[in-house]
A = this chain, B = another copy of it.
């Protein structure tokens, strides 16, 4: 019924062609935060799908367009792939060993911005489709792709897009944009994602910067206003001090603890990978570190900017200051409520001069570990990875799984080519070609078994 041997052989013998296609895609910058190359990249992705016989639509969203593609298959089941073509900014550029938008292959790895997050996932899945079409002449099920361009900027328009296109996106199950193995080469099944509420806090205290000899004693200072406002949000105990922030948050369940406890202790790996000396809140490792990593709301300063930042000294009192702040949300926090709590808190603390600009957000969402589709993805991985797939009830990162789970009603399973040193969002982002091939082989098995 299936031609898996033939498919596997195709995947292996045509790997170079797929990596070449990925390199072309990575060489097309698509930095959402900088609005760089978005339309061009969407068109390129559309052409890649059209070449495989998909009906392709480049659909407007109000921001970067969504590439939607559909091809009918043998069974009447429909599998939806969610991917994104946008990438994180490549800065700081000086920390890249080779230029971020000139993909470079060395030691079995491909380096470049977006090779892992998320362009490699897309081309590996297209590689699977090529192999199945070569073996069978048709797909075993209907396949749809929704490939957005705003994942790295909090998927601002995706939720509305999905609600307005529920019919078009109708499916039976969804494969998520990412996945991968841990440091033991064990494949991971991530079943939930935290939400996010990303804001910029900004203050303006004067019309021009003032000589600090004059302004220091008597004029308000934007950098100080920002520093003090930030310090009311969270102290060194890491507890978020905004009243109501923790209301209605469910602690991890017994099942969550059990699944998390089955995970290896990552404490030492984190220390060596990121060069951190220790962890927050007195954590040292084990299940408590793992639970803290993903089941707690966070308040992270992602960036600070004010006044003079060059070498040496400049005696100036800044008129403007701003911070990028990323709040990770857990069920059932919502960005809307969090924004209202933040505004009320700043006002109450005397910081009504601190402006909040909402840069994107989405609530958290989870998929049932006992869903039959999850079982297909988990079970079919074992042959490829020579290891059982491990179920993680929740991860620390965010993504727009909420509308897939709650508006489209889909089970969402993860599978991918990531690995611990993939450096998503950081300089020298890379993928391992062996894991690229494994992901393509895994996806072939998922498609066949799902279609039965």
Q: A residues bordering B, Cβ < 8 Å?
A: 32-35, 88-89, 91, 95, 152-154, 194, 196, 198, 200, 205-221, 223-224, 226-228, 230-231, 234-236, 270, 274-281, 283, 289, 292-294, 296, 298-319, 321, 323-324, 326, 328, 350, 359-360, 395-398, 423-427
A207 to B272 Cα, complex, angstroms: 9
Contacts of A216 on B, CB cut-off 8 Å?
A: 298-300, 326, 328, 396
A228 to B280 Cα, complex, angstroms: 15
A-B contact pairs, 10 of them (CB 8 A): A33-B312, A206-B276, A208-B423, A213-B398, A214-B396, A223-B301, A223-B304, A302-B317, A303-B308, A307-B324
Contacts of A194 on B, CB cut-off 8 Å?
A: 213
Q: A365 → chain B, closest Cβ, in Å?
A: 14
A396 to B397 Cα, complex, angstroms: 49
Residue pair B294, A314 in contact (C-beta under 8 Å)? no
Residue pair B359, A312 in contact (C-beta under 8 Å)? yes
Residue pair B427, A208 in contact (C-beta under 8 Å)? yes
With A227-B231, A274-B215 already in contact, the answer to whether A33 and B304 are too (CB < 8 A) is: no
Residue pair B207, A274 in contact (C-beta under 8 Å)? yes
Residue pair A328, B213 in contact (C-beta under 8 Å)? yes
Contacts of A303 on B, CB cut-off 8 Å?
A: 223, 306-309, 314, 316, 318
Which of A274, A277, A319 has the most chain B CB atoms closer than 10 A to its own CB? A274
Q: A371 → chain B, closest Cβ, in Å?
A: 23
Residue pair A307, B308 in contact (C-beta under 8 Å)? no
Residue pair B310, A33 in contact (C-beta under 8 Å)? yes
Contacts of A314 on B, CB cut-off 8 Å?
A: 33, 88-89, 152, 302-303, 324, 425
Contacts of A427 on B, CB cut-off 8 Å?
A: 208
Q: A274 → chain B, closest Cβ, in Å?
A: 5
Which of A32, A215, A283 has the most chain B CB atoms closer than 10 A to its own CB? A215
A274 to B209 Cα, complex, angstroms: 8
Which of A218, A308, A350 has the most chain B CB atoms closer than 10 A to its own CB? A218
Residue pair A298, B217 in contact (C-beta under 8 Å)? yes
Residue pair B217, A397 in contact (C-beta under 8 Å)? no
Q: A192 → chain B, closest Cβ, in Å?
A: 12
